[in-house]
Amino acid sequence: MSPEVRLQATDVKLGYGDRIVVDGLDLGVEAGTVTTIIGPNGCGKSTLLRALGRLLKPQGGEVLLDGKRIDKIPTREVAKILGVLPQAPTAPEGLTVADLVARGRHPHQTWYRQWSSDDEGAVAAALDMTGLADLAERPLDELSGGQRQRAWISMALAQGTDLLLLDEPTTFLDLAHQVEVLELVRHLHQEAGRTVVMVLHDLNLAARYADRLVAMRSGKVIAVGSPHEVLTEELLGEVFELDAKVIEDPVAGTPLVVPIRPRSH
């Protein structure tokens, strides 16, 4: 029996106005996996993620969420199934961690019932799971980059979706904070069985924290598979135009990329 596909992009054409970034792309995201999209700058990774999260309407093809066209499902219903965290999100100054996380409850609230014990429970659980309970009343702008990113993920958790799309959740973070955020993602996946799709730049961390890697170049998927299958010296040459040596990560046993030099054009 083939695994259940939660998100399916079929022959999608994506772009902004006349500028087409992705054309004729197919991708399926299986339930309970961590799928990580890698590729050089401008290859359409974020564009694809935005389309999977219905933030960008495809100009051709279709995106299916649990077998139904995502643009035919009311956006509020989608928000109860699927959470999207865009790249480098911005918050108004003075927004506290508790207030940010509480906004994740938005799709569950109606105009006459703005706060329920369900909401309070979900927010408390999200704060506890991300280790932010002690920082609940602190403004977001006073936190470290890693704490701030955890707060945003905590908001997506409070949303209560079992599908999470994260666009470069480790951007602007130092290595320790990158690992901190990715450990949290792994925890969400392993403890709660969430399905995660994320875009990452660091290939070694991508290899360590993903079940499946999707390598993209110029709006096309070049390779899909386990980190061992995808991260080969050959593929790095083809996708990143990079000469590199791939060895075994002494800690995790996953592929470790040691760059040599960019390929000359």
The site for another protein (CB under 8 A) is made up of: 50, 53-55, 74-80, 82-86, 89-96, 98-100, 102-104, 106-107, 109, 111, 114-115, 120-121, 123-125, 127-128, 131-134, 136-137, 159
Tally of residues, the chain: 265
**Residue 28 Cβ, how far from another protein at the closest point, in Å?**
21
**Residue 113 Cβ, how far from another protein at the closest point, in Å?**
11
What residues does 248 pair with on adjacent strands? 255
41 versus 90: smaller Cβ distance to another protein: 90
CB 55 within 8 A of CB 84: yes
Distance CA 161, CA 80 (A): 6
**Residue 204 Cβ, how far from another protein at the closest point, in Å?**
28
**Residue 125 Cβ, how far from another protein at the closest point, in Å?**
8
84 versus 215: smaller Cβ distance to another protein: 84
Strand order in the sheet with 60-65: 19-30, 5-16, 60-65, 68-69
59 versus 232: smaller Cβ distance to another protein: 59
- At 245 the three-state DSSP class reads strand
131 versus 225: smaller Cβ distance to another protein: 131
The sign of the torsion formed by the CA atoms of 198, 200, 204, 186 equals negative
171 versus 204: smaller Cβ distance to another protein: 171
**Residue 168 Cβ, how far from another protein at the closest point, in Å?**
13
137 versus 234: smaller Cβ distance to another protein: 137
**Beta-strand runs (E) in the chain:** 5-16, 19-30, 34-38, 60-65, 68-69, 82-85, 163-167, 195-199, 212-217, 220-225, 242-248, 255-262
| Tokens coding 216 | 């993209």
**Residue 134 Cβ, how far from another protein at the closest point, in Å?**
7
CB 29 within 8 A of CB 52: yes
CB 21 within 8 A of CB 76: no
